[in-house]
Structure 1
Amino acid sequence: MATDVHRPVTTTKSPSTPPGSAVRVAGLTRSFDGRAVIDRLDLDVRPGEFVALLGRSGCGKSTLLRILAGLDRDIEGTVLVPRRKAVAFQAPRLMPWKRVWRNVLLGLAGRPERALAERALAEVGLEHRANAWPKTLSGGEAQRASLARALVREPDLLLLDEPFGALDALTRIKAQRLVDELWQRRGCAVLLVTHDVEEAVLLADRVLVMDEGVIAYETAIDLERPRGIADPRFAELRTELLHRLGVEAPDASSPASSPAAAAAAAAAAAAAA
């Protein structure tokens, strides 16, 4: 797999990623005004692996994703990523003066045909909106258009920066299921930055917790798919991750474990992250 090697000043090319790795990061440091937001971080992501990254606001999650995307190269250390990569952000970032199908093809080299966009839109269930203007899309539709724009690049690495954060609860659930299906169908490596602990456990093979610029904790998620929050093992993983984020979940045997208390704990987790 061809890679880009990002270094502090210059960028060189390497013929392949290290064996068994879709992403390799070693000794990565990124500083702003003399403060290291990412501090000698190491990270490996295997080909086809779905990794979720949790952490408090300001811990460096989105900065790391931007570096992997090639949007920030003012770094120290080594970053190896697939040349074919794509990013979907929390905001769909659709150009309002271009129809949906043209937004999907935006940035591709040459003069790709509309059929290419329509195939990607069909994959996310949005082929019927190919000729629509972005302002006429719902929030969920706009996010699916953003995913189609990422998928049309046939990425070996898909970077997702809180892509469901602005969606309502029901639309968010549908979007999560869609991403799970797309990942299983495509087989690319995925790095998802999220504030949602349940989302991380639902989707990921492995969950990382970032703190003070490094990966402070990681755990494999060995639950069978499709996953459900009613699984006791799911609850155990969720509780441990909340603890690592500095949020104590209510004890299951106490009155505080009511649905209302669980919702409050989830809200606290989102605030802490």
Structure 2
Amino acid sequence: MATDPHRSVTGRAVHVEGLTRSFDGRAVIDDLRLDIACGEFVALMGRSGSGKSTLLRILAGLDRDVHGTALVPRRRAVGFRAPRLAPWKKVWRNVLTGLPGRPERALAERVLHEVGLGHRVDAWPSALSGGEAQGVSLARALLREPDLLLLDEPFGALDALTRATDRRPAGGDLWRRRGCAVLLVTADVETALLLADRVLVMDGGRIVHEQPVALGRPRDTADPRFAALRSRLRERLGAGPAAEAA
């Protein structure tokens, strides 16, 4: 089946079927199947080398040497670990970089305020902390109004997302108000459970566990239901493929 990373399927932001990616004869992504609904927040976890970041790069259109099908929206934005800010531009100009026409400063101010960085609008990138720089990168991605937001362990950006979740009523999260789907690669169990509708665990290039998070928002880490999900997920992350199959 040919891979086309530029189409979407009605009702689904992501549709992956039979996806395989190999390096030097070793399958890093192995006959993978995955669907992400429009507006759904999915957290992807797994040990180093399990294929998480490779999958994200494929969905971002940065790796096309694959077999199988990967259908995604044309409008998608990526937040990687490195924020990649232009040091000669102030924060608000970095947020607007790449937008067509002559976008107004007010657009940058609005989205920076949403991620908790309204006070850094006129700062230079050199004056930002690592977390603030990644928050700016997140703001830049959100301003593109993506239908799919791909995040690869952006720790500072995760802080911004978690703050937004904690301070807003249920249904008012940044990505929900924009209606975009999110695929987040993270190693942090609590962050995954605070933000995601569903947590997936990868091992050996496949999805070996799926954990729905049927909790209201905002979520409380002291909630016994949250604690139970956290313990269950940590156990799954410590299990290998054989244990999962059992």
Counterpart for residue 10 of structure 2: 19
Structure 1 residue 184: deviation in Å? 3.2
Please give the root-mean-square deviation of Cα atoms over the aligned residues, in Å: 2.3
Aligned to 2:37, which of 46, 49, 60? 46
Q: Does 1:241 align with 2:227?
A: no
1:6-43 CA-to-partner distances (Å, cap 9, x unmatched) read: 72xxx5854xx323211101111111111110011010
Secondary structure class of the residue paired with 2:200: strand
Distance 1:22 1:186 in 2: 14
Specify the SS of the correspondent of 1:117.
helix
Q: Do the aligned partners of 1:140 and 1:175 also contact (CA within 8 Å) in 2?
A: no
SS at match of 1:135: helix
Write the letter of the residue equivalent to 1:147. L
1:200 is matched with which residue: 171, 184, 192? 192
Structure 2 counterpart of 1:189: 181
123 and 235 in structure 1: CA distance in 2 versus 1, 3 angstrom threshold: closer
Evaluate the alpha carbon distance shift between residue 113 and residue 6 of structure 1 in structure 2; reply closer, same or farther with a 3 A threshold. farther
Question: What do the CA deviations read for 1:102-140 (whole angstroms, capped 9, x no partner)?
Answer: 211223334434333233223223233223210011223
Task: Please say if residues 54 and 61 of structure 1, whose CA atoms lie closer than 8 Å, have aligned partners that are also in contact.
Answer: yes
- Which secondary structure state, in structure 2, belongs to the residue aligned with residue 103 of structure 1? helix
* Residues 150 and 179 of structure 1, relative CA distance in 2, 3 Å threshold: farther
Flag structure 1 segments of 5+ consecutive residues without an equivalent: 248-273
Alignment partner of 2:94 out of 103, 108, 121 = 103
CA distance in 1, matches of 2:29, 2:98: 29
Q: Is the 8 A contact 1:6 1:80 kept in 2?
A: no
1:155 to partner: Cα distance: 0.7
The share of aligned pairs that are identical, in percent, is: 70
1:80 to 62, 71, 95: 71
Question: 1:259 — aligned with what?
Answer: none
Query: Once the 2 structures are TM-superposed, how far is the Cα of residue 218 of structure 1 from its aligned partner?
Result: 0.3
Cα distance in 2 for residues equivalent to 1:100 and 1:12: 31
Partner of 1:68: 59
- Among 65, 69, 90, the alignment partner of 2:81 is 90
- Match for residue 218 of structure 2? 226
**Aligned twin of 1:270:** none
Give distance in 1, aligned partners of 2:56 and 2:99: 21
TM-score normalised by L of structure 2: 0.86
Mapped pair 1:178 → 2:169 = no
SS in 2 for 1:25: strand
Match of 2:118 in 1: 127
- Secondary structure in 1 aligned to 2:72? strand
**Separation of aligned partners in 2, 1:174 and 1:73:** 31
| TM-score where L is the length of structure 1 | 0.78
The whole-number CA distance in structure 1 between the counterparts of 2:99 and 2:109 is 15
The one of the two structures with greater contact order (alpha-carbon pairs below 8 A, sep at least 6) is 2
Larger Rg: 1
Structure 2 unmatched runs, 5+: 167-172, 240-246
**Other structure's SS at 1:154 match:** coil
Give 1:25's aligned amino acid: V
Q: Identify the residue that residue 148 of structure 1 maps to in structure 2.
A: 139
Equivalent residue number for residue 161 of structure 1? 152
What is the distance in 1 between the residues matched to 2:5 and 2:126? 40
Q: Which amino acid aligns with 1:225?
A: R
Residue identity opposite 2:190 in structure 1: E
One-letter amino acid of the counterpart of residue 177, structure 1: R
